[in-house]
Amino acid sequence: MNPFILKDYSGPEFFCDRTIETARLISAAENQRNLTLTSIRKMGKTGLIHHAFNRLNQSADIDTVYLDIYFTGSLQEFINKLGTSVLKVEESLPDRIKRIINSFIKAIRPTITYDSLTGSPVFSFQL
């Protein structure tokens, strides 16, 4: 593994060059135009997108959502990834915690059984 390759976007202070490409991405987003970004693997497309999104989030009234669909194999997987990505952006941390706790509580199934020897009730929870 090359130690000089950054896996994630580390912020604008570590992003260099690509000013023309960044400006094109920002212009397309601000003017609601579609844009296709193509290149061979490992050329910095994801970093460029994150850099443009960072600038858009700071300067415009645009909400950005990044979604990597490389490993999606079906429409259901795509919809799940899209929904998860949108919720990560739109939900505040307290709302996300509430949603997770709520779904956990809904998944718990309490059961009451009776001990066959003593006849006393036994409570158990299943997920």
Q: Are strands 109-114 and 121-126 parallel, antiparallel or unpaired?
A: antiparallel
Tokens of residue 52, six digits: 């443009």
pLDDT digits (tens, 9 = 90+) for 79-90: 888 888 887 776
pLDDT of residue 2: 39
pLDDT digits (tens, 9 = 90+) for 85-126: 887 776 666 776 777 788 778 878 888 888 888 888 888 877
pLDDT digits (tens, 9 = 90+) for 14-50: 677 788 888 898 898 888 898 888 889 888 888 888 8
pLDDT, mean of residues 51-56: 86
- CA-based R_g, the chain, Å: 23
Alpha-carbon distance of 83 to 91, in angstroms, equals 11
pLDDT of residue 3: 39
CA distances to 37, 44, 46, 72, 102 from 40, rounded to whole Å, are 10, 9, 12, 19, 43
Q: Partners of 110 in the beta sheet?
A: 125
pLDDT of residue 6: 41
Asked whether residue 5 carries a pLDDT value surpassing 60, the answer given is no
Q: Per-residue DSSP letters for 21-83? A: HHHHHHHHHHTT--------TTSSHHHHHHHHHHHHHHHSS--------TT--SHHHHHHHHH
